[in-house]
Amino acid sequence: MKEAAQKKINKYERILEAAAKVFAEKGFHKARISDVAKLAGVADGTVYLYFQNKDDLLIKTFEFIMDEVNSVIRNIYENEPSHKERIKKLITAHYQLASRYPHAAELITFELRQSQKFMKEYENKKFKEYLRLIGTIIKEGQEAGDFSKSLSPYVTSRAIFGILNETMLQWIASKGKYRIDEISNTVMKIVLEGIA
């Protein structure tokens, strides 16, 4: 990364990344806008040139991260024809993303729910899209006879998210006690057998 060049441009993204980190570390409520601004290297007021308010900053941070995640999943869906391989790659991709962007992972893990609670009006489109993508993979697998037809695709996609999210959290919290491939291995077996 070219620090100097970054300074001027991409203030929007710099704030987003700072927000992801601060929100992940302190939690949304304890995080102060001034913390985010300081980490992003801008003035407090500057945050409000790019985001409407603190809630909006949280939402945009989510959507920024979820866009990444969804794009990865869509990519798997479009390039991998095997239904079982799709699931395998999906799981692998999750842990890869989590280890590359731990703050983002932590943010989704920790703050996603909380935010839905106090922003009743916010319809989490990106998360719905995420579930829809996985649901499609499940459905096509069922139609092809690779996955059990007795499973509700919507419940299954939610269950898969639950497993991934919880074990990702376990890994983040453990700080090295659990190796990521031990987790990944167990999860992959459970999911693949579970939906077979």
Binding site for a copy of itself (CB under 8 A): 26-27, 29-30, 109-111, 113-114, 117-118, 148, 150-152, 154-156, 158-159, 161-167, 169-170, 178, 182-183, 185-187, 189-191, 193-196
**Cα–Cα nearest to 18, from 118, 43, 67, 66:** 43
Of residues 18, 24, 31, 91, which one binds DNA by CB under 7 A?
Answer: 31
Stretch that binds DNA, among 28-36, 95-103, 120-128, 137-145 (CB under 7 A): 28-36
Contact 81, 142 (CB under 8 A): no
Residue 21 binding result from a copy of itself, DNA, none, given CB thresholds of 5 to 8 Å by partner type: none
Residues 40-99 that bind DNA (CB under 7 A): 42-46, 48-50, 53-55
Please give, one letter per residue, the 3-state secondary structure of 51-90.
CCCHHHHHHHHHHHHHHHHHHHHHHHHHHCCCHHHHHHHH
Q: Does 32 sit near DNA (CB under 7 A)?
A: yes
Q: Does 13 sit near DNA (CB under 7 A)?
A: no
Please give the size of the binding site for DNA, defined by CB under 7 A: 20
Of 74 and 179, nearer to a copy of itself (C-beta) is: 179
Q: Where are the alpha helices (DSSP H) in the chain?
A: 3-8, 11-26, 33-40, 44-50, 54-79, 83-100, 102-118, 125-143, 153-174, 180-195
188 contact partners, CB below 8 Å, separation of at least 6: 88, 91, 92
* Residues of this chain that bind DNA (CB under 7 A): 4, 7-8, 11, 30-34, 42-46, 48-50, 53-55
